[in-house]
Amino acid sequence: MIRLNLLPHREAERKRQQEQFNAAVVLAVIIGGVIAFLVYGALVAAIDLERENISVLQGEIKVLEDQIKEIKDLEAQIAALQARQRAVEDIQADRNSPVRMLTELSANLPKGVMLTKLSQKDLDLVLEGSAESNEKVAEFMTNLGRPDGWFVRPELVEITSEIQTLASKEQVKVFKFSLKVALLRAQAAERPVAGASAASVPAPAISSTSAPSAASAAQPASRS
């Protein structure tokens, strides 16, 4: 006997599969939502932690900036105090500068050289005078340039020769010169120059020779 199944089994099977698929989709959505929520919560917690760390670092940076500002203010105050101290020391050192300068010039002035004019600007001097010969001028510059002295950088500006007539009607040749030199401060001059030796200054060249002048009452420098 042949049996026929007239029930719609294909439709039932299709419906069952559709329900299983729908349940799987719902379950996947739920699991995905849970995972997304957990990931979101972890990210939010990490962001909050980083914000706290950034806030702490900003606070420390602010403290360091305040400390740096205080240090800079202290450095500025120290620099100002040091500048005042140096100014006071320079004033004290320069208090006896004129006497010391004239004493040193007198000690370095060789025989046969006479100074007629001295001008000073700060520590720079301009000396004018007369000498019996250009060798005497060179000797004077050598004395001024000694490493253990109070003068530095002697520089000849000009030297000329002229004939002067003495009261006794005798005519002598005199060398007029002008030179520059710098005066050391007391602290610098008191420091010895290590390994330095006095350098000889070559005899300066004569720039020009003038004709005998009219009767002059000025006495020339004494001969050595």
174-206 pLDDT tens trace: 889 999 988 886 555 555 444 444 344 444 444
Same domain assignment for residues 101 and 87: no
Same domain assignment for residues 105 and 185: yes
pLDDT of 105: 86
Same domain assignment for residues 129 and 48: no
Can you give the pTM of this predicted structure? Answer: 0.45
Same domain assignment for residues 62 and 125: no
Same domain assignment for residues 50 and 81: yes
All residue ranges of the chain with pLDDT < 70 are 1-9, 93-96, 185-224
Same domain assignment for residues 77 and 40: yes
169 φψ region: left (φ > 0), alpha (ψ -120 to 50), beta (else):
left
Name the 3-class secondary structure at 76.
Answer: helix
Last residue of a domain, one of 31, 66, 95: 95
Domain count, the chain: 2
Are the beta carbons of 116 and 128 closer than 8 angstroms?
yes
In a domain, 224, yes or no: no
Same domain assignment for residues 69 and 133: no
In a domain, 68, yes or no: yes
In a domain, 2, yes or no: no
pLDDT of 96: 67
Residue 6's Cβ-side half-sphere holds a number of Cα atoms within 13 Å equal to: 2
Same domain assignment for residues 116 and 63: no
Range of the domain at 104: 97-190
What is the rounded distance in angstroms from the CA atom of residue 139 to the CA atom of residue 179? Answer: 13
pLDDT of 190: 52
Q: Which of 81, 100, 104 is nearest to 92 (CA)?
A: 100
What is the rounded distance in angstroms from the CA atom of residue 184 to the CA atom of residue 28? Answer: 94
In a domain, 208, yes or no: no
Last residue of a domain, one of 47, 75, 95: 95
Q: How many beta carbons lie within 10 A of that of residue 193, not counting itself? A: 12
Same domain assignment for residues 47 and 89: yes
In a domain, 7, yes or no: no
What is the rounded distance in angstroms from the CA atom of residue 194 to the CA atom of residue 169? Answer: 52
- According to DSSP H, which parts of the chain are helical? 9-94, 97-108, 134-144, 186-190
Are the beta carbons of 154 and 144 closer than 8 angstroms?
yes
In a domain, 195, yes or no: no
Same domain assignment for residues 41 and 111: no
In a domain, 155, yes or no: yes
Last residue of a domain, one of 61, 95, 129: 95
